[in-house]
């Protein structure tokens, strides 16, 4: 605005300036009122707008949930995406979309949603579990463990204990598939501590312990399970197998026998039972065996071992001639063979152990060089394992 040096309006500008002086306060008041009125009007418009968006979002979400429930994941993905158009930050919409994407086999797409959800709620169990599955698929062991553990200790919306337990079971499966047996066993021990008497869970724990080669705990779990389901042939069979692996053959015999009685088709139990019976019948060191019977068993075992040695030396002729240990084993058997009769054993009871030492050595050696034994040879090898170090 042009002004004279003393600050007054100059020339033609003076009327305009005076106009300003009188009109400006009015103008500003009018503008303020207008702003308030428009603000209120846009506020009303905004409520209408958001109400419509919310309704549309909920409508699409409901459709998505319905389709996901009936496993129409592709349709559910589209519907959840539509719902997200109206509220892109809605946690439930995003989570359901991620789950639908996983259901539709589009884990890579789900990943980004889950990462976003995880950023917002790092303690959410569902998100951690889904993320754990995705990173586990990618083979990222460290991240998978982190997310599985987060899921195990996470907050779950309902049935918290079951969800946590299932997450841990899934983690154990993952670790076993990755060959991390020690870690899997540690998780299993933690799981077992809170497992209670649920027969199905105990059965599963037993199976998992079997996979970690911890037969002791596996057997214990099966026994807990059998307390609730006393005549479950499947569990009895597996308890028998665990006892068999532990070398507790009388127990194994009991469980396997029971399993087979209930289910004659159980070939695995039948096979194990047969071996168990052989073990029980061919172990000369059992307390309840009489002296005469023991001698008979030793003679029979020595003969079986000799046949195995003979068979193996024929099979691996070239190797046997050059292998010093094996040659000496054959020599020991040949030297001792004339002495191993029931009469000689009666005269010299010390020969029992010496003869059985040769038998065990032969079975161990042949199992290494000629493959796993079967039948009586297998029984002798198992008996060797039982008395190892004695």
Partner 1 sequence: MGLLTNGPPARVENGSAKAAALPAGRFRTAVLETVFREDRLFLILSVFIGVFAGLAVVCFRFSIDWCRLYLLGTGAVLTPSRMILAPTLAGLVIAALVMHLFPATRGSGVNQTKAALYIYNGNIPIRTAIGKFICATLAIGSGHSLGPEDPSLQIGACLASTLGRRVRLSRDRMRLIAPVGAAAGLAAAFNAPISAVLFVIEEVIGHWTAGILGSVVLAAVSSVVVSRWFLGSESLFRIPPVELKHPSELIAYAILGVVGGIASVAFATGIATLRPRLKALPRWTQYFQPAAAGLMIGLIAFLGAPQVMGAGYEAIDEAMHGRFTWQFLAVLAGLKILATTLSFVSGTPGGMFAPTLFIGAMLGAAVGGVEHRLLPHLTGSPGTYALVGMGVLFAGFLRAPMTSVFMVLEVSGNYSIIVPVIVANTFAYVISRGLRPVPIFDVLTRQDGLDLPSMEEQREEGVLHVEDAMRPVEVPVVNAQDSVEQALREANSAGVDGVLVRLSPSGWSSIAKQELQAMVDAEVGGASLSSLLSDRRIPYVHPDLPLETALRYVDRWPLVPVVSRADFRKLEGVISQRDVLERYREFGET
Interface residues with partner 1 (CB under 8 A) are 1, 5-7, 16, 19-21, 23-25, 27-28, 31-32, 35, 38-39, 42-43, 45-46, 49, 52-53, 56, 60, 78-79, 81-82, 84-85, 88-89, 108-109, 111-113, 115-116, 119
Burial class of residue 134 (count of CB atoms within 10 Å of its CB; 0-12, 13-18, 19+): buried
Given the complex with partner 1, which of 25 and 349 has the nearer CB atom? 25
Query: Look-up: residue for tokens 């691996």?
Result: 316
Given the complex with partner 1, which of 86 and 174 has the nearer CB atom? 86
- CA 152 from chain centre, in angstroms, equals 13
User: What's the min distance (Å) between Cβ of 50 and partner 1?
Assistant: 9
User: What's the min distance (Å) between Cβ of 75 and partner 1?
Assistant: 10
User: What's the min distance (Å) between Cβ of 207 and partner 1?
Assistant: 38
311: tokens are: 């068979």
Contact 168, 147 (CB under 8 A): no
Query: Look-up: residue for tokens 């990222």?
Result: 140
Q: State whether residue 305 is helix, strand or coil.
A: helix
The candidate with the shortest Cα–Cα distance to 377, out of 314, 304, 315, is: 304
Neighbours of 353 (CB within 10 A): 14
Contact 101, 110 (CB under 8 A): yes
Q: State whether residue 195 is helix, strand or coil.
A: coil
User: What's the min distance (Å) between Cβ of 156 and partner 1?
Assistant: 26
User: What's the min distance (Å) between Cβ of 36 and partner 1?
Assistant: 10
User: What's the min distance (Å) between Cβ of 141 and partner 1?
Assistant: 17
User: What's the min distance (Å) between Cβ of 115 and partner 1?
Assistant: 8
Dihedral pair phi/psi, residue 9, rounded to 5°: -60, 140
Neighbours of 19 (CB within 10 A): 10
For residue 9, the cross-strand partners are 3
234: tokens are: 């499947």
Query: Look-up: residue for tokens 């503008």?
Result: 31
Given the complex with partner 1, which of 42 and 190 has the nearer CB atom? 42
Output the CA angle 170-171-174, nearest 5 degrees: 90
Given the complex with partner 1, which of 146 and 354 has the nearer CB atom? 146
User: What's the min distance (Å) between Cβ of 375 and partner 1?
Assistant: 55
For residue 124, the cross-strand partners are 155
Query: Look-up: residue for tokens 């000369």?
Result: 284
């Amino acid at each position: 605005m042009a002004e004279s040096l003393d600050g007054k309006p100059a020339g033609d500008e003076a009327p305009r300036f005076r106009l300003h002086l009188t009109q400006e306060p009015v103008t500003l008041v009018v503008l303020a009122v207008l702003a308030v009125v428009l603000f209120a009007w846009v506020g009303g418009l905004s409520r209408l707008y958001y109400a419509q968006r919310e309704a549309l979002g909920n409508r699409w979400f409901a459709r998505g949930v319905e389709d996901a429930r009936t496993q129409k994941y592709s349709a559910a993905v589209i519907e959840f995406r539509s719902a997200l158009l109206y509220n892109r930050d809605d946690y439930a919409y995003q989570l359901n979309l991620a789950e639908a994407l996983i259901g539709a086999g589009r884990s890579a797409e789900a990943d980004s949603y889950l990462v976003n959800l995880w950023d917002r709620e790092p303690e959410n169990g569902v998100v951690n579990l889904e993320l754990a599955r995705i990173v586990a698929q990618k083979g990222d062991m460290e991240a998978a463990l982190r997310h599985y553990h987060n899921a195990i200790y996470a907050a779950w919306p309902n049935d918290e204990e079951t969800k946590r337990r299932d997450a841990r079971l899934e983690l154990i499966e993952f670790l076993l598939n990755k060959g991390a047996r020690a870690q899997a066993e540690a998780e299993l021990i933690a799981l077992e501590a809170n497992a209670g008497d649920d027969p199905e869970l105990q059965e599963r724990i037993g199976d998992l312990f079997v996979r970690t080669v911890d037969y002791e705990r596996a057997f214990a779990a099966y026994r807990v399970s059998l307390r609730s389901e006393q005549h479950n042939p499947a569990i009895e069979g597996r308890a028998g197998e665990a006892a068999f692996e532990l070398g507790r053959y009388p127990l194994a015999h009991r469980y396997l026998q029971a399993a087979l009685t209930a289910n004659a088709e159980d070939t695995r139990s039948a096979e194990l039972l047969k071996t168990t019976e052989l073990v029980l019948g061919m172990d000369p060191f059992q307390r309840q065996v009489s002296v005469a019977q023991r001698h008979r068993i030793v003679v029979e075992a020595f003969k079986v071992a000799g046949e195995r040695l003979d068979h193996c030396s024929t099979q691996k002729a070239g190797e046997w001639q050059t292998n010093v240990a094996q040659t000496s084993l054959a020599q020991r058997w040949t030297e001792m063979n004339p002495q191993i009769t029931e009469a000689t054993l009666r005269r010299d009871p010390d020969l029992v152990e010496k003869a059985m030492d040769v038998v065990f050595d032969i079975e161990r050696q042949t199992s290494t060089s000629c493959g796993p034994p079967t039948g009586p040879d297998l029984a002798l090898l198992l008996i060797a394992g039982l008395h190892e170090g004695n």
